[in-house]
Amino acid sequence: MKRLRSIASIFAQPCSMQTAESEDAVQEKNASSVLLGEPMETETEVVVTDPAPCVEDRPTDSTAKRPRGLDQSPTRQTESQLSTISTSAQLFSIITMLTTLTLASTSVQTTLDALPAQVAQMVATTLEPPTSTFVSPVDKDMRACCTLNAVITKFSLRSFPEDEILVCPCCFKHSSSAPKKILVGRNRDTLGKFSSKSLLKNLKTRILSHFKSAAHEFCVERENQEELAKHRSQSVGLTLAHLALQTITEARSYHSYERAVLRQHLLGTRVGNLNHSRQFVVSFLNSLYYVAKQRAIQWFNSVDPATTHPVLFAVNADKTTEFHRTGQVVGALGFDLGEIKAIFLDDPIVGIECSGPAISENLFLVLHDTFCLSLHQLRTQLTGMAFDGQYFGLHVPGHFCSRIGSTTEWTMPGWDGAHRCELVLGDVRKDTILTWYKEVPEFIGQVQAKFAYGKNHEKLRKAAARVHRKFYELQKFCETRFAQAERKFYKNFVLNYLSIVTDLQDKAQTGSDEEQAYASTFLGELYKLVFVVTVIGLADLLAKVKAVSLFQQTVNTLPWEVAEKEAEFAHHFDKVYPEQLDFKDKDSVKIDSYLVMYTHGAQ
């Protein structure tokens, strides 16, 4: 409203001309004509109140100066004055009506739409409210802080109560590197430091001034650069650590790590300029063991959330030979978040003496010295032990319980079920009644030894292609391996049976005298139905043993689930009587068709 009055006062100044018609009437008519879009009336009669002097009164001297404004003709001067009067009258009438409409709470926008474009724009600009002053986010945050603690928290300041000062961490760190030209009236030692004894209002003013200064902006920029460099360094470190971990977990040579780094560099990955040597893998492996060890120690000292007591664990150990030295692999089993987790602890060297007390002492040192488990923890948290037959033969569980002051009833040492199941096969192999169980793998090994390498191996491959059979790499038999490896040996021989028989037949017909001799010897046994059925039966029976053994070796298998699997396994073998396994020699027959059916899955 004040702006409308000011505009009205500008156009309401008295002019040097007045019309014969009433001025108010003309203004109202013209204003209404403009609003209604009708042509305005023009003034028909103009009376000049201050006319120019008559011609007779003018100086006769041609050199005399003429008054300003009289160098134009009377006609052109009159037209200009008429235009000024018309525009002034229009604007004054428009502003008067807008003022009236505004006071009457009438929509101004409706009135502006009816005005000419230039006039409407001028009036709308005049009616615009004043623009608000911009307030920065720092100012808003500072206004929201009503206490000293709020200021410290909001702007991440460091407080030193003993010195009664507040410090801007960013400026405290980088003020020494700030150039002199931005330190306007400031000292490097006092940059970003404020007295906490000041009034809150004055303190907020000084902090706000500091945050808007060029010195603070320089320190913030330097801090951002350091953070970016740190982030890039961490990214490069994680990339190299991932490559080193992959090298270790896949048991590759340490030199392969260097080639992996080169490949990543060629692909455009940031790898930096450090830790590219194979020596980094060695250092990384030591660090990896140290971190895993610290986490294991932390777990041993944790509390089970279900029982609110220290976690319980079991210990398992077995002897191993690495680089011609006898060691002992020590591990632990425990419940973590409802699952059984296996933890590798250590692999120390046993030494010269491999007696029961020496092995138990070696086991105690791993738990007590390496993983910092006290005697009390071992007595209360160790509730299970698992070893193989040699440990029980040396009475290792009893010696270990005596060393920690516990009993076998509490530690519950057990012989691994999978290991006992596999040892049964060794005992059966020594039985004098079932001699064929030992003779069959020996005979198969003699047959396959002729095709292990050289030209005989190539002839066997050609024989397999001639009978349209896939050739499988020959396997070797080992008594100390588990049932899975033994079954694989028999299954491999059955799948290569037709190829072996075909090659031996060729040697018996067209080979040398020596080849004909051993070919005839082997073919006579290979043609026996009893031999073929025995090999196939062994493969089927060992499949059951393998299933039980692998089930018992599963980490998260519960004890009652293992017992159910063992009962099912025993029930299956109860159906096989010893007299059924005592095969008698049968007449030699050709069984090529039977083996073809077997190789296609018909068992």
pLDDT in tens, 244-301: 999 999 989 999 999 999 999 999 999 988 889 999 999 999 999 899 999 999 999 9
Closest CA relative to residue 485, chosen from 441, 428, 533: 441
Location of structure tokens 């040892």: 423
| Residue scoring higher pLDDT (416 or 9) | 416
Average pLDDT estimate for 86-103:
56
Q: What own/partner pairs with CB < 8 Å and gap ≥ 24 does 95-104 have?
A: 95/4, 95/7, 95/8, 95/11, 95/123, 96/8, 96/27, 96/31, 97/31, 97/35, 98/4, 98/123, 98/127, 99/1, 99/4, 99/5, 99/8, 102/1, 102/4, 103/1
| pLDDT at 583 (0 to 100) | 43
Mean pLDDT within 298-321: 90
What pLDDT band is residue 312 in, cutting at 50, 70 and 90?
Answer: very high
What is the pLDDT, as a whole number, of residue 396? Answer: 92
Contact 158, 208 (CB under 8 A): no
In whole angstroms, what is the distance from residue 298 CA to residue 295 CA? 5
The residue ranking higher by pLDDT, 164 or 43, is 164
The pLDDT > 90 percentage for the chain reads 19
pLDDT of 39 > 80? The answer is: no
Q: Supply the pLDDT for residue 66.
A: 45
Instruction: Report whether 17 contacts 47 (CB < 8 A).
Output: yes
Calculate the CA dihedral of residues 45, 51, 55, 57 and round it to 10 degrees. 150
Residues 6+ apart with CB under 8 A from 408: 397, 398, 401
Helix (H) or strand (E) holding 46: strand 46-48
Tokens 């699997």 locate to 565
Phi then psi for residue 569, to 5 deg, are -65, -45
Using alpha carbons only, what angle is made at residue 476 by residues 471 and 482, rounded to the nearest 5 degrees?
A: 115
For 117-147, the pLDDT digits (tens) are 655 565 555 555 555 566 678 888 888 888 8
The answer to whether residue 108 scores a pLDDT higher than 90 is no
Say what the pLDDT of residue 506 is.
87
Average pLDDT taken over every residue of the chain = 76
> Which distant-in-sequence residues (6+ apart) come within 8 Å of 70 by Cβ?
52
Nearest CA to 98 out of 73, 68, 61, 124 is that of 124
Q: What is the predicted pLDDT for the residue at 317?
A: 92
Of 62-71, 124-133, 255-264, 317-326, the poorest mean pLDDT is in: 62-71
Q: How far, in whole angstroms, is CA 22 from its chain's centroid?
A: 87
Whole-number Å distance between alpha carbons of 472 and 131: 88
Whether the pLDDT of residue 21 is over 50: the answer is no
Closest CA to 462 of 513, 500, 512, 519: 500
Question: Which of 250, 241, 251 minimizes the C-alpha distance to 281?
Answer: 241
Residue 159 per-residue DSSP state:
E
CA neighbor of 546 nearest in space, from 486, 490, 483: 483
Give 90's pLDDT tier (boundaries 50, 70, 90).
low
State residue 365's pLDDT score: 93
Q: For residue range 363-417, what is the model confidence (pLDDT) as tens digits?
A: 999 999 999 999 999 999 999 998 888 898 899 999 999 999 999 899 999 887 7
- C-alpha 98/C-alpha 104 separation (Å) is 10
Q: How many residues does the chain have?
A: 603
Indicate the burial class of 443 (C-beta count within 10 angstroms; 0-12, 13-18, 19 or more): middle
Q: Containing H/E element for 343?
A: strand 339-346
pLDDT at 345 over 50: yes
Apex 292 CA angle, 291 and 294, nearest 5: 65
Question: How far is the CA of 438 from the CAs of 391, 428, 429, in angstroms?
Answer: 27, 9, 5
pLDDT at 567: 83
Round to whole Å and give the CA distance between 519 and 505: 7
Whether pLDDT at 432 is above 70: yes
Q: Are 361 and 384 in contact (CB under 8 A)?
A: no
Q: What is the mean pLDDT of residues 432-436?
A: 78
- pLDDT at site 402: 92
3-state secondary structure of 88: helix
Distance CA 351, CA 318 (A): 14
Residue for token pair 């005992």: 427
State residue 425's pLDDT score: 78
pLDDT digits (tens, 9 = 90+) for 210-255: 888 888 888 889 989 999 999 999 999 999 999 999 999 998 999 9
Q: Is the pLDDT of residue 166 over 80?
A: yes
Lowest-confidence region among 44-48, 309-313, 480-484: 44-48
Apex 528 CA angle, 526 and 533, nearest 5: 95
Strands 46-48 and 158-160, by their bridges, are unpaired
Residue 91 pLDDT grade (very low, low, confident, very high; cuts 50, 70, 90): low
Model confidence pLDDT, tens digit, residues 544-585: 888 888 888 787 778 788 888 888 887 777 666 544 444 444
Q: 310: closest CA among 220, 241, 383, 400?
A: 383
CA–CA–CA angle 410, 411, 415 (5° rounding): 130
CA 166 to chain centroid, in Å, comes to 38
Instruction: Give the pTM.
Output: 0.52
The CA distance from 347 to 326, in Å, is 10
- Rounded to whole angstroms, the Cα distance separating 398 from 410 reads 12
Give the largest CA-CA distance in the chain: 166
pLDDT of 5:
52
What's the pLDDT at 126? 54
- Nearest by Cα to 507 from 519, 496, 495, 490: 519
pLDDT of residue 86: 54
Contacts of 596 (CB under 8 A, 6+ apart): 498
Residue 70: its pLDDT value, please?
42
> Residue 177 carries which DSSP code?
G
Which amino acid, one-letter code, is at 543?
A: A
